[in-house]
Amino acid sequence: MTVIAIDGPAASGKGTLARRIAEKLGFAWLDTGLLYRAAGMVAVDLGADPGKERAAAQAATQLTERIAADGPGLLQDPRLRTDEAAAAASKLSAVAAARAALLDFQRTFARNPPNGAPGAVLDGRDIGTVICPDADVKLFVTATVEERARRRVKELQGRGQAAIYTAVLEDLKQRDARDSQRAVAPLKQAADAVLLDTSALDADQALAAALAMIDRILSRSAPSRAGRQP
């Protein structure tokens, strides 16, 4: 079983990259950010503040129970791609009790990918440091905040939403600060993660670079992985 952990800040391209890597390798893919967005929106729908400990923990627990009962279809809700969901997720992710409630789901996915997939790709902000510290491959995907803001504006406009570059840029800076400075599982590059800066790369170039890194890492670790007990 191969686990690939991909971390990085918002709008770095890690989600698209993780999905395409999973498709290329035939692995299962989990966008862990959607879990936090979904839990955040559960809190919002209940009229609660996703940044408050009790509300965040209850929302995260409710979400995992609903996924267990009804499957992961909840993560396909279009609302999870909105700025409202992103803001709710950022608040909820800073609450230790909420993170603990979502932790087991993510680790179970990594250990037992659905549909018999031979491996799993998980992307988020603490996959390589907290969720899957023993992942076979760890990539930290980033780009300059200016480039990330440009991409986010393009993404929003592509959905027909109004977006002002300066406002998006400021929002990303605030989210970066919140994610990297939080006391619980802050965003940071794992010591053994490989850095991939996508600032000057398009999606295809980023995929090619990531696949080359993955191949190189797995080739180096092949002898030790072959000796692992199933």
- The answer to whether residue 49 is domain-embedded is yes
- pLDDT, one tens digit per residue, over 4-59 is 999 999 899 999 999 999 999 999 999 998 999 999 999 999 999 999 999 999 99
- The answer to whether residue 98 is domain-embedded is yes
Mean pLDDT of 79-83: 88
- The answer to whether residue 224 is domain-embedded is no
pTM over cut 0.95: no
- The answer to whether residue 170 is domain-embedded is yes
- The band of 81, judged by pLDDT with boundaries at 50, 70 and 90, is confident
- The Cα-based distances of 175 to 79, 197, 226 in angstroms read 19, 19, 40
CATH code of the domain in which 33 resides: 3.40.50.300
How many structural domains compose the chain?
1
- The answer to whether residue 214 is domain-embedded is no
Separation of alpha carbons 28 and 62, rounded Å: 24
Domain coverage including residue 117: 2-209
